[in-house]
Amino acid sequence: MAVKVRIPAPLQSLTGGAAEVEVQGRTVREVIDALERNYAGIKARLCDENGELRRFVNVFVNDQDIRFLQGLDTELGENDEVSIIPAIAGGN
Amino acid sequence: MKENVWLRYQRQMLLDGWGEEGQRKLANAHVAVVGAGGLGCPIDIYLVAAGVGKLTVIDADVVEETNLNRQVLHWSNDIGKPKVQSAVEKLRQFNPQVEITPVHGHLTDETVDDWLKDADIIVDALDNFPTRQVLNRYAVKTRKPLVHGAIYGWEGRATTILPYETACLACLFEEGPPPSVFPVVGTTPGMIAMIQATEVLKLLLGIGEPLFNRYLIYDGLTMTFKTVKLRRRPDCPVCGSSS
């Protein structure tokens, strides 16, 4: 299933500047693996060595935080949109 | 006499829910803006323009040339001055009715209570995550509303935290990103600053719908605004049931 993924500003250097990309995946985990196949290096920015999301990275399916769903195993449906939202610290 | 004093606020007092009563609420309010950089400068300008009674401006840095593309209260001849001094000099000329207190120093667990205990609302205009965590812990502990903003490049974020009612910063992010020098164009903090200043005014007036449990994500390149829903985490180390 094709899913739209929102790429945050700090990771857009890995997607050739694209703020939104489309990949295949039935779960959030599959979407991250698909992102890695298309944009090598992105998974390490999102996940730790155990494959779990880094603690400063949140993922939302539509407007819901996957920590309150099934985490990386959250299933995706037609027209679902995945947003990667890492903490950003700038302000000055 | 009062009419003359408040003439500069006439146009905003025409708004529903504002009037003299609303302007009095602002005049009696004390807002602390932590950070006098890209976010802090426009926030300060618009809060002073709107006539908040007291403003505390906190920052530890001095003005550098690389600040000048975005920190709009700091001008070429301010290089080398403490940012709070540079900011306050202009803000006092802009609206002498506002009582403005500059604080030049680092906000820490040791200093935060001294500097923020009299504030009704705290505004996060910081440039790093560890100090944001200090601010978040303090706001939750003292149950003061905290208006958060952050930026990176063309992207900005904002949410308004009402301790124990809404998700706090630690509910949202379990830890901060690795430290880095971030790219930034001045319009991004400008946009987020306007959202934060608007949130402060709404909170003070008690009108509208603040960004409670909503995380606003602004992307200047695609010119889109998206909001996602936030929730309090029961296991949040700052505001959770076990904290």
Task: Tell me if B152 and A58 make a contact (CB, 8 A cut-off).
Answer: no
Residue of B nearest to A85 (CA): B217
Mean pLDDT of A32-53: 97
State the nearest Cα–Cα gap between A2 and chain B, in angstroms: 21
Residue of B nearest to A13 (CA): B153
State the nearest Cα–Cα gap between B6 and chain A, in angstroms: 32
Task: Tell me if B228 and A83 make a contact (CB, 8 A cut-off).
Answer: yes
Of all residues in chain B, the percent with pLDDT exceeding 70 is: 98
In a domain, A50, yes or no: yes
In a domain, A35, yes or no: yes
Q: Which of B213, B127, B177, B235 is CA-nearest to residue A57? A: B177
In a domain, A48, yes or no: yes
Mean pLDDT of B175-201: 94
CATH number at residue A58: 3.10.20.30
B121 and B32 Cβ atoms separated by less than 8 Å? yes
pLDDT for the residue B1: 46
Locate B165 and state its tokens.
């009612």
In a domain, A91, yes or no: no
State the nearest Cα–Cα gap between B101 and chain A, in angstroms: 19
The band of A1, judged by pLDDT with boundaries at 50, 70 and 90, is confident
Examine the pLDDT at B171 and tell me if it is beyond 50. yes
Query: Which residue blocks in B38-167 are alpha helix, DSSP H?
Result: 40-50, 83-94, 112-116, 129-142
The pTM of this model reads: 0.96
Q: Which positions in chain A touch B221 (Cβ < 8 Å)?
A: 19
pLDDT in tens, B189-218: 999 999 999 999 999 999 999 999 999 999
In a domain, A92, yes or no: no
Task: Tell me if B228 and A6 make a contact (CB, 8 A cut-off).
Answer: no
Query: Which residue blocks in B95-158 are alpha helix, DSSP H?
Result: 112-116, 129-142
Q: Which residues contact B7 (CB under 8 A, 6 or more apart)?
A: none
B227 touching A, CB under 8 A? yes
Lowest-pLDDT range of B82-86, B104-108, B147-151, B239-243? B239-243
Strand partners, B102: B57
Q: Which positions in chain A touch B217 (Cβ < 8 Å)?
A: 83, 85
In this structure, are strands B214-219 and B155-161 parallel, antiparallel, or unpaired?
Answer: antiparallel
* Selected residues 45-64 of chain A with any CB under 8 Å from a CB in chain B: 55-56, 58, 60, 63-64
Q: Which of B176, B181, B165, B178 is CA-nearest to residue B213? A: B165
B172 and B238 Cβ atoms separated by less than 8 Å? no
Calpha distance A22→A19 (Å, rounded) = 10
Write the residue in B71, B124, B222 that is nearest to A19 by C-beta: B222
B38 touching A, CB under 8 A? yes
Q: Which of B131, B130, B129 is CA-nearest to residue B58? A: B131
Examine the pLDDT at B29 and tell me if it is beyond 80. yes
pLDDT in tens, B74-126: 999 999 999 999 999 999 999 999 999 999 999 999 999 999 999 999 999 99
Examine the pLDDT at A91 and tell me if it is beyond 70. yes
In a domain, A68, yes or no: yes
Q: Which positions in chain A touch B61 (Cβ < 8 Å)?
A: 92
Locate B24 and state its tokens.
């009095």
**List of domains in chain B:** 2-229 (3.40.50.720)
Strand partners, B62: B82
What domain count does chain A have? 1
pLDDT for the residue A78: 87
State the nearest Cα–Cα gap between B12 and chain A, in angstroms: 28
State the nearest Cα–Cα gap between A23 and chain B, in angstroms: 20
Which range marks the domain in which residue A72 is found? 2-86
Task: Tell me if B219 and A85 make a contact (CB, 8 A cut-off).
Answer: no
pLDDT for the residue B179: 84
B26 and B204 Cβ atoms separated by less than 8 Å? yes
* Selected residues 73-132 of chain B with any CB under 8 Å from a CB in chain A: 124-129, 132
Q: Which positions in chain A touch B125 (Cβ < 8 Å)?
A: 91-92
